[in-house]
Amino acid sequence: MPKPDRPKPDRAETDSAKFDVDLFVIGGGSGGVRAARIAAGYGARVMVAEEYRMGGTCVIRGCVPKKLFVIGSHIRHEIEDAAGFGWTIPPVTFDWPTLVANKDKEIARLEAIYTANVEKSGAEIVKTRAVIEDAHTVRLTDGRPLKARYILIATGSTPSHGPRIPGLDHVISSDQAFHLQELPKRIVIQGGGYIALEFACIFAGFGSDVTVIYRGDNVLRGFDEDVRLHVRKEMERQGITILTGCTVDKVDRDGKIFTAHLSNGSSIAADKVMFAIGRHPNIGGLGLEKAGVVLNPHNGGIAVDGFSRTSVPNIYAIGDVTHRVNLTPVAIREGHAFADHVFGKRPVQVDHSNIPTAVFSQPEVGTVGLTEAEARAQFSHVDIYKTDFRPIKSTMSGRDTRILMKLVVDATTDRVVGCHVVGDTAAEIIQAVAIAVRMKATKADFDATFALHPTAAEELVTMRTPTARYGREAAE
């Protein structure tokens, strides 16, 4: 009589003894933390290695402290505007060390929350550097090797300084800007992207004399052309000097004074020189080459597929280290999708289209969808609705500022494919508009929506006549 078949053990159970953990996450930023928590929720044994502070770039030295500085610097505008509304405010003083100290307290509070949330999920945190040795092995700073079924790289990005120039050691990055001992009276900032402009407006708001140096023809490359022009004009109205078509070629130091020598032959003396010319993937010393992880030749980030899988099947990468879309919410969504796919057994991919974006300059920028140029390249017929107006507040305050609102419409389908706003609370407005754009709302849907009066945002549903129309014959 044949013996009955014995039930076969689950493969995961038989493999379990081979690995110390099911998932090893390198990087305790927003993306890595989300992936760790979701994976742990599926029952995975998870370990997170973070060599610096939990929270990553966004919480520790990026979005959060920067937004706190933006809010603080904007108070100066509010004080100036108050007189038009009948307020008499005695002379006020500002203390930079107090701002920095209070910012540090808030960042420490958020870091503690990140740490607690990971630990509550059942994942373990190790405060150490981790280097990949092979497809399943990472080595910690203490020399201890660990075997992991899956490895997730979520190490983010780091500031770029560009070509090595004389005096580069005298230059600070956005990382150091959060910890300056005193507010610089004069600062030169090289860069024309969102980080450079945000810090330019922050320092100007606190009273610094600010000069922005950018190699291109105008700031905010990649944004809608009208947005670029409007932001520059508004910043210059605030007294910020913007010099385009040149670069900083050399920085000299004489005591506490720094001199930035420009490619156009001129020079500028300042108390600080800051470079904000972009960020690059934080991949140095991770052991990627040894493990066989391939980089993307086009952007220098880790090459991944739609599921965030690298060239090594069990090694994944998410967030800024892939250099796809370097935004915190994107890293979080990618981390969540990774955990759902690998440990939840659901084939989830992240859709990187129609991602709302904000620039916390002053004025603020909010944008979602296509620029006018992108839409005209993609669609045969495009309608543009644009308005530029003085906000109600400035009619009383006397501030010389204007708001820009722009809708980009695929005229063939009437679908709103892009929205761009420059002005106070632009980011708050765009977050709601992004829902409509993602749901493929038409211009008729916008027109049928009641205006909320009196607001600036009501212009988005009251613009009825196109300011420009573009059409081209389809290629035969």
Cα separation, 421 vs 391, in Å, equals 13
CB 285 within 8 A of CB 131: yes
Question: H or E element: which one contains 124?
Answer: strand 124-126
Residues 438/231/325/407 CA torsion (nearest 10 deg)? 20
453 is known as an active-site residue: yes
- Of 52, 56, 54, the C-alpha closest to 128 is 52
Cα separation, 219 vs 234, in Å, equals 12
The residues, any chain, with a CB within 8 Å of residue 50's CB and separated by 6 or more, are: 27, 28, 32, 125, 126, 127
Cα separation, 73 vs 389, in Å, equals 24
Task: For residue 408, list its beta bridge partners.
Answer: 384, 418
User: Which long-range contacts link 434-437 to residues 24+ away (Cβ below 8 Å)?
Assistant: 434/354, 434/356, 434/368, 437/354, 437/368, 437/369
Work out the angle between the directed axes of helices 96-120 and 63-82 (0-180°, nearest 10): 140
**Side-by-side strand order, sheet with 209-214:** 241-244, 209-214, 186-190, 272-275
Q: Identify the active-site residue in 74, 77, 280, 453.
A: 453
b/e burial code for range 426-455 (CB count within 10 A of at least 16 → b): bbebbeebbebbeeebebeebeeeeeeeee
User: Which residues are annotated as catalytic?
Assistant: 453
